[in-house]
Amino acid sequence: MCGIVGYIGSKPGKDIILRGLEALEYRGYDSAGIALLDGEKSQVFKRIGRVNGLVQEVEDKAGNAGLAIGHTRWATHGGVTVANAHPQMNSDHSIFVVHNGIIENFSELRQKLEGAGYQFESETDTEVVPQLIDYYLKQLPSFTAAFEAALNDVRGAYSIVAISTREPETLYAARLSSPLVIGVGEHENFLASDPSAIMEHTKKVIYLEDYDVAVITKDTVDVHNLKEDKHISPKVELLDYENKQALLGDYPNFMLKEIFEAPAAIRSATLGRAVAEQNVVKLGGLESVLGQLKYIDRIVIVAMGTSYYAGLVAEYLIESLADIPVEVQLASEFNYREEPFSRSTALLAISQSGETADTIAALKKVEDYGVLRLGIVNAVGSTIARMTDAGVYCHAGPEKAVASTKAFVAQVTVLLQVALCLNDGRSKRFKPLIEELNKLPAKAQVILDQADAIKTIAENYADYRDFLFIGRHTGFPAALEGALKVKEISYLHAEGYAAGEMKHGPLAMIDEHFPTFAIATDSPLLEKTYSNIQEIKARKGPVLALATEGNEAIKELCSDVIYIPDTAPETQPILQVIVMQLFAYYIAIKRGNDVDRPRNLAKSVTVE
Ligand code: AGP
């Protein structure tokens, strides 16, 4: 969602901030802004729309100040206006604040400040922060004390960075339930909500924890934890990040690039883990809890969006392979449910970004239950990766397009290995599945090699307004994910359904204007899916089937067929989803949409 970059040093801060904001563009935003401080001289630039709208003005008018902060805003409180863009300021424009997250008690704080004579220029929740700092500065001896006093008043989730003309040699930062990382340089320091914004400058980072307040100069980083009221010795870690993966190369956009990275994602997710020659699955991230896992008799999976659908696939895989009951919940629902939760239940969070607010809240909810908290996360060093007891990285590499593609592929690949690991070699499926995982990258490539044919088919469907995606067994969550891909980037109505549900309602929608994407790959349930397709055809609904190579008969039943290579039932959803990603992608491109940055959406949803 929103993005933050900060810099203190002797280089022109504007360049570092602009580059950083560009690197954060993928997260989704609707306005951008920068504040620069050169001694007591300040400059602020804010614009609606893309960062490149800001570049020219900043380059023309900004000085070479070495203290700077920048922000990309995704509107929550107040519309998309220049006044609501960050940085937000106090009344005399001497304090500048950028903020990610939501300040839940902002109207109460605003009333209090208005009562004290403060006037507000924006509709944002953020504006209370610089005003509050100003309010406390009148009573307290230092900026740090005023900053901390303001933070003590604020309820909600935040990463906040502040600078002031009164302290032109210092960056102030704070974090609560929203990521913030300090980049450590030589006589310069950086701040960012996502390491990708600063990784070209330094690989040395300090991840701030909840309630941490950092006071940063170009040579020092001082961290104080507000909750524990103690100074922290910051731990400097080395970023493990492949820069080239975050670049576009020859692809027209990140979404296509990331779809085409599916074979590499499967390879990385299985490398050194599913070893066919030794007939083992070694998940280093789970080794420390293998003993505990033996006593787990129920797993609750929490996640959102695509990660939730990966969890629904895992439910089938873990239950059948490891014989452990699994329940999958949207983290946003889990957080407000009262349900019995015994110590023998493990909570498993799935997240590409590792920063999804609802999923983080789910992990926090069970913090005191004494249960095992596991994570399947793609972003290395992210909040979820750090707050879980153990877990497995997806290793799909950075995913920049808002619509998740290769991360789903990697998540299901990892979750299948988790199921095998829990199975510990007991099932007859163990060896064949490890072998199949090793063959899967080549099979994914076969699908990608058909991209042109899928494009031709997709373009024929691009003028429909509605789509139904149906599947059975793991094909059901795959259908949900296919429908989500169409919704996100095409802005068309698409629904995912279990094929068996058709007669219970959705069939009423079917006519010649309502096509169905039917997942009909080889399975013991295929004949039942054929019956569903017949019912749809009888109502003149166009049917595009996804079938297993060699199934010629299905052509008689359907308007169009796309084939995937034969694979195990457990690995089918991985291949099925790649086809649906391409299908959604080509529809969206035909409709002229910005596939990397679909309207109204952000890459990682860091507020509730
Ligand atoms: C997927 O295409 C979406 N962008 C979205 O549903 C996403 O999967 C969801 O917000 C969860 O994100 P996470 O995996 O980073 O936690």
The 10s digit of each residue's pLDDT in 466-502 is 999 999 999 999 999 999 999 999 999 999 999 999 9
Q: Give the Å distance between the CA of 403 and the centre of ligand 1.
A: 7
pLDDT higher than threshold 90 for residue 179: no
379 Cα–ligand 1 center, Å? 12
DSSP-derived 3-state class of residue 137: helix
482 CA distance to ligand 1 middle (Å): 14
Q: List, as one string, the DSSP characters of 363-376.
A: HHHTTTTT-EEEEE
The residue whose CA has the least distance to atom 16 of ligand 1 is 351
Q: pLDDT category, 246, cuts 50, 70, 90?
A: low
Helix and strand numbers (H, E) in the chain are 19, 27
Full set of structural domains in the chain with CATH: 3-239 (3.60.20.10), 249-441 (3.40.50.10490), 450-595 (3.40.50.10490)
Mutate to test the pocket of ligand 1, among 74, 301, 404 (most ligand atoms within 8 A of CB): 404
Token readout for 335 is 């957080």
Give the separation between CA 433 and CA 419, rounded to whole angstroms. Answer: 11
* Per-residue confidence (pLDDT) for residue 411, from 0 to 100: 98
Nearest atom in ligand 1 to the alpha carbon of residue 604 is 15
Cα 67 to ligand 1 centre (Å): 34
Instruction: Tell the residue number behind the tokens 């605003």, with chain if given.
Output: 110
* Residue 244, pLDDT above cutoff 60: no
Structural tokens at position 89 = 């300021």
Ligand 1 pocket, Cβ-based, cut-off 6 angstroms: 304-307, 351-353, 356, 359, 402-404, 488, 604-605
CA of residue 533 to ligand 1 center, whole Å: 30
Query: Can you give the pLDDT at residue 193?
Result: 92
Confidence of residue 2 (pLDDT cuts 50, 70, 90): confident
CA-wise closest residue to 53 among 28, 29, 31, 81: 31
Residue nearest to atom 10 of ligand 1 (CA): 305
pLDDT (tens digit per residue) in 339-374: 889 999 999 999 999 999 999 999 999 999 999 999
130 alpha carbon – ligand 1 mean position (Å): 32
Cβ density class 505-519: b for 16+ within 10 Å, e for less: ebbebbeeebbbbbb
* Whole-number average pLDDT of the chain: 94
pLDDT digits (tens, 9 = 90+) for 139-151: 999 999 999 999 9
Dist. CA 426 → ligand 1 center (Å): 33
Pocket test residue of 193, 259, 302, 307 for ligand 1, highest count of atoms within 8 A of CB: 307
Which of 308, 309, 353 should be mutated for ligand 1, with most atoms under 8 A from CB? Answer: 353
Closest protein CA for atom 4 of ligand 1 = 403
Mutate to test the pocket of ligand 1, among 255, 304, 348 (most ligand atoms within 8 A of CB): 304
Q: How confident is the model at residue 52 (pLDDT cuts 50, 70, 90)?
A: confident
Q: Which helix (H) or strand (E) holds 173?
A: strand 171-176
pLDDT at residue 241, rounded to an integer: 60
Q: Which atom of ligand 1 is nearest to the CA of 603?
A: 4
Catalytic residue set:
2, 603
Q: Which atom of ligand 1 is nearest to the CA of 305?
A: 6
Strands annotated E in 277-371: 280-281, 298-303, 326-330, 345-351
Q: Per residue in 541-591, pLDDT tens?
A: 999 999 999 999 999 999 999 999 999 999 999 999 999 999 999 999 999
Please list, in sequence order, all residues whose beta carbon lies within 8 angstroms of the beta carbon of residue 306, skipping any fewer than 6 positions away.
Answer: 352, 404, 407, 408, 411, 481, 484
Residue bearing the CA closest to ligand 1, atom 5? 305
Categorize the per-residue pLDDT at 196 as very low, low, confident or very high, splitting at 50, 70 and 90: confident
- Minimum-distance ligand 1 atom for the alpha carbon of 402: 4
Torsion on CA atoms 196, 148, 75, 487, rounded to nearest 10: 50
Q: Does position 53 have pLDDT exceeding 90, yes or no?
A: no
Q: Are 351 and 291 in contact (CB under 8 A)?
A: no
Nearest-atom number in ligand 1 for the CA of 379 is 15
Please report the pLDDT score of residue 463 as a whole number. 96
Chain-centre distance for alpha carbon 347 = 19
Atom of ligand 1 nearest to the CA of 405: 2
So what's the pLDDT on residue 276? 84
